[in-house]
């Protein structure tokens, strides 16, 4: 094997290795010891999902995120008081606004209507029992 054939792969590897070094300019990639951050904002303080005791307007398992249970119960009561929020007969999905900036989405399930109402920073979810 000629010396050029031995040197050429070594030289190529050396050039590749030096091309990966620091050029002195800042990099957008995290270096060792740094972690990449998500592009979505962090959840607000106290954003853990909480189950609220009791039921409201024939619902079960009311859960809230980012708000107190009293606010969640108010959203559920507002939802129950709006006929347009329960969807039309035979519809498997629906949506409606219930005030206080909450928008509710629902889907028909075997257990009833699975409903999730949200606004920036908080959400309320529950199952509305079928009649």
Least confident segment among 15-29, 68-82, 117-131: 15-29
Cβ atoms within 10 Å, residue 78: 20
| 52 contacts 72 by C-beta, under 8 angstroms | yes
42-81 tens-digit pLDDT: 555 556 889 998 878 778 789 999 999 999 999 999 999 9
pTM, two decimals, is: 0.61
| 117 contacts 123 by C-beta, under 8 angstroms | yes
Q: What are phi and psi of 122, to 5 degrees?
A: -155, 160
Please identify which residue in the block is written with the tokens 């031995």: 6
């Amino acid at each position: 094997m000629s010396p050029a054939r031995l040197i050429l792969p070594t030289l190529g590897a050396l050039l590749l290795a030096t091309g990966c070094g620091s050029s002195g300019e800042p990099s957008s990639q995290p270096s060792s010891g740094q972690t990449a951050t998500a592009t979505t904002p962090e959840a607000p303080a106290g954003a853990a999902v909480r189950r609220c005791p009791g039921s409201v307007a024939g619902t079960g398992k009311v859960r809230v995120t980012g708000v107190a249970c009293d606010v969640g119960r108010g959203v559920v009561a507002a939802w129950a008081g709006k006929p347009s929020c329960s969807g039309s007969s035979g519809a498997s999905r629906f949506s409606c606004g219930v005030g206080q900036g909450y928008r509710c989405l629902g889907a028909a399930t075997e257990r009833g209507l699975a409903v999730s109402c949200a606004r920036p920073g908080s959400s309320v979810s529950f199952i509305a029992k079928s009649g």
